[in-house]
Amino acid sequence: MTKVILILLAGLVFEAVGVVNLSKGLRQAGGPGQSVIKFNGPGLLRLAKSVITNRNLLLGIACQTVYFGAMCYLLTQRDVSLVWPLSSLSFVFTGLTAKFVLREDVSALRWTGIVLVVLGAGIVTWSEKIKERDAARRAAVTEASP
């Protein structure tokens, strides 16, 4: 379980850094107060050019790719009902990264929501420990039976 948690935490750091860089890059590509994506030919071409020339967008895409790879690996190792709820811990990393890198004002109400997410992830992790303990007990009973 320790390996799973370490890979998850590393993946979540990449996810947070990726989201923040995507946000920075998209804001840079659109200019002040402009929407980046216009759903027409010239707008999509402009977005494509921005993606291949903007360092923040490229870094964001690369970080998101690492996160996606980590999640794919974790989903091969553990139940989706464990891995996916734990991925919600990304709210903590993203909130911190947005506050300290983008200098966003993250309100107390948002932090309260993040704390509730962390509590939920803790309950999910605890349920996995109970599941593992019950499986070990069943195995011990099976071995002890003639």
Average pLDDT over residues 32-56: 74
pLDDT of residue 118: 86
pLDDT of residue 31: 58
- CB burial of 92-125 (b: ≥16 within 10 Å; e: otherwise) equals bbbbebbeeeeeeeeeeeeeeebeebeeebeebb
Residue 47 has pLDDT above 80, yes or no: no
pLDDT of residue 30: 65
Termini Cα distance of the chain:
32
Is this prediction's pTM over 0.75?
A: no
Tokens of 35: 């929407």
pLDDT of residue 39: 67
Dihedral (C-alpha) 71, 75, 76, 81: value to the nearest 10 degrees? 170
Q: Residue 145: left if φ>0, alpha if ψ -120 to 50, beta else—which one?
A: beta
- Rounded CA-CA distance 2/85 in Å is 17
Residue ranges per structural domain of the chain: 2-144
| Phi/psi at 22 (5° precision) | -60, -45
pLDDT of residue 34: 58
Three-state secondary structure call for residue 7:
helix
pLDDT tens, residue by residue, 60-118: 999 999 999 999 999 999 888 888 888 888 888 899 988 998 899 999 999 999 999 88
Averaged confidence pLDDT in the chain:
85
pLDDT of residue 61: 94
- How big is the chain by its Cα radius of gyration, in Å? 20
pLDDT of residue 43: 73
